[in-house]
Structure 1
Amino acid sequence: MSSSSVPTFVELLRSAEHSAVHLEMRDSYAVDYEKGPFADWRAGHRHAPADRASWWRPWLDLIVETVGRGVAVRRARIVSEPVSEYTRFLYDGTFTNVAAGEQVRWLPRRRASDIALPGNDFWLIDGRLVRWNHFSGNGQSGGGEISEDPAAARLCAAAFDKVWERGVPHERYEIR
């Protein structure tokens, strides 16, 4: 499918009936170093778990809705160690994903060397629909692409399952 026919993340997650898994494999994604959440974090701002109103956002409402329908939402991140500054930023904010109902695991890249991984980050919906996330070399979004190719779905499912099996649950992962 062309990128013009790629469903939004709202449409994608609302279409899920059983599972939505997301594999992230980059050590950084494009962010504005001068303003916005990453800049605020670099300046020392941290979300207070008890101050939910300060960090809750529409994405988390979507996760709550999705999980509430009985869909398992899991995210796995393959990370280089020592981790990048951006990965530290992600790690510090991941408690919000967990609070919304996502399950999150981290896998040090050196423990992923023998796993056959797809070339791009992806979402896999119900084990059959792949949403590829394309990025430029500097981490800018290059758009998404949808695939219903059974071989691609099997590759993504196998890769995700292996990463998930080896990954460390967020609450036990220690940043290095």
Structure 2
Amino acid sequence: MPTLEDRLRNCTRSAVHLEMRDEYMPSDPRFTAWRNGARNDPADSDPERRPWLRLVADLVAQGVEVRRARIVSEPVSDYIRFEHHLTVPTVRAGEQVRWLPRRRASGLALPGNDFWLFDGTSVVFHHFAGDGELAPDDEEFTDDPVVVKLCSDAFESVWRQAVPHADYTLA
């Protein structure tokens, strides 16, 4: 089964990601360190130590548009503060990121899970347990055109209303 990185590297036009949870992977050691006061670790901005940055830069250099939209409750959780902190290097690498306060999403039709949409033709849903950790069956792939359209429409509706990262102030 292809990994997320494999799927991203196979994109030719676009990769979009919609995140709708306020808590992810609370056991992540980087989050624990951040919560305990570690800030501005050089590893956060180093593509050699943070492979996501290298991947994004590679994709963007190949002409792939990488966008992420986050729907967040306000006031934001500690985990969202952590994500916001890590977003600056991601944006520098070429990923476009926007934030949508959850109360502005009430009128939007959204799928039940976070997802990646690849080139507008396939989707991987991510499944999490109630505590924010990845569920044992954490990925679900589909190329069903109806589901792909739902996800594409949902992402674009969020994107239109969301605030660009540079303009979003944590509440």
Q: Say yes or no: does 1:152 pair with 2:150.
A: no
Render the CA deviation track for 1:98-144: whole Å, top value 9, x for unaligned.
01110000000000001000000000001110011011111111210
Q: Does 1:102 align with 2:95?
A: yes
Give the equivalent residue in structure 1 for 2:85.
Answer: 92
CA-CA distance at 1:154 after TM superposition: 0.3
Q: 1:105 to 1:56 in 2, by over 3 A?
A: farther
* Equivalent position to 1:31, from 10, 26, 33: 26
Percent of pairs identical after alignment? Answer: 53
Structure 1 runs of 4+ off > 4 angstroms? Answer: none
**In structure 2, what is the equivalent of residue 12 of structure 1?**
7
Code of the aligned partner of 1:113? S
Alignment correspondent of 1:43 = 36
Q: Which runs of 5+ in 2 are unaligned?
A: none
TM-score, length-normalised on structure 2?
A: 0.93
TM-score normalised according to structure 1 size: 0.90
- Offset from partner CA, 1:49-90 (integer Å, 9 cap, x none): 8x8449851111111111110000000000000001111111
How many Å separate the matches in 1 of 2:162 and 2:47? 29
Task: Give the secondary structure class of the aligned counterpart of 1:124.
Answer: strand
Let me know the Cα RMSD of the aligned residues.
Answer: 1.7
User: Which residue number corresponds to residue 109 of structure 2?
Assistant: 116
Match of 1:125 among 118, 136, 139: 118
Unaligned runs of 5+ in 1: none
